[in-house]
Each structure stands twice: as C-alpha cells, then as structure tokens.
Structure 1
C-alpha cells in the first residue's frame, strides 16, 4: 500500500515550530509562497511561545505531537 504524502501546510507548520522552539529567528523562513509561509510563521509563533513557556527538548516534541493531534 502506498503512503500518502503529508500535507505541505502541516510540514511547513512543523518546520516553523521546530525553528521557534529552538529559538531561531523568523527571518530564516525558507518559503516564499504566501500560504506555506503563513503556515510556517504560525508554527514559528507557537514554537516561540512554547520556548518562552519552557517547553524545550523532549517537552517541545511532545507539545508538537499534541498540536498535530488537536489540529
């Protein structure tokens, strides 16, 4: 059975979250398309908020999984 590709918006969100949780700048966004860039920025904002709240390391990974299940 063939595996379906993941949604590009979901992948952009996850990559943005990973950048945000690690404290990286939002200027590092690799996307130029408006919708994928917005998904990346939304993930970055969530990640930054979680970084400030102390969800770093393993806790940040678990938080990302919770966001994926809820979203």
Structure 2
C-alpha cells in the first residue's frame, strides 16, 4: 500500500511549526513561493507562541496530530 504525499502547504506549515518550537529565526524560511512561505510563517508563528507558552516537544507533537 502506497502512502500519498502530504499536501505541500501542510508540509510547509508543519516544518515552520517545528522551526518555531525549536527557537529558529523566521528568516530561515526555505520557501520563495508566496503561498508556501505564508504557510511556513503561519506554522512558525504558532510554534513560537507554543515555545513561549512553555509547551515541550511531546506536547507539541500531540498538538500537531490534531491540526
């Protein structure tokens, strides 16, 4: 059984979230395409907020499962 590739926008959001929760800077966004960049930055913002609120990595993984 083959797995379908995730939607690129969802993938950009998830990677942005991981960057934000780990404390990386938003200037590290790897996307130049506007839509993917916007999704990455949205994920980054949410990740930074969770980081500042004290969420640990396990809690953030659980939260991502519901997104």
With normalisation by structure 2, the TM-score equals 0.92
Please state whether the residue corresponding to 1:23 is helix, strand or coil: coil
RMSD: 1.0
Paired residues, what number? 67
Contiguous gaps of at least 5 residues in structure 1: none
Greater alpha carbon shift after TM alignment, 25-34 vs 2-11: 2-11
Structure 1: 4+ residue segments shifted above 6 A: none
Aligned position for 1:57: 57
Cα distance in 2 for residues equivalent to 1:2 and 1:59: 29
- Please report the TM-score for the alignment, with normalisation by the length of structure 1: 0.87
Query: Is 1:20 paired with 2:14?
Result: no
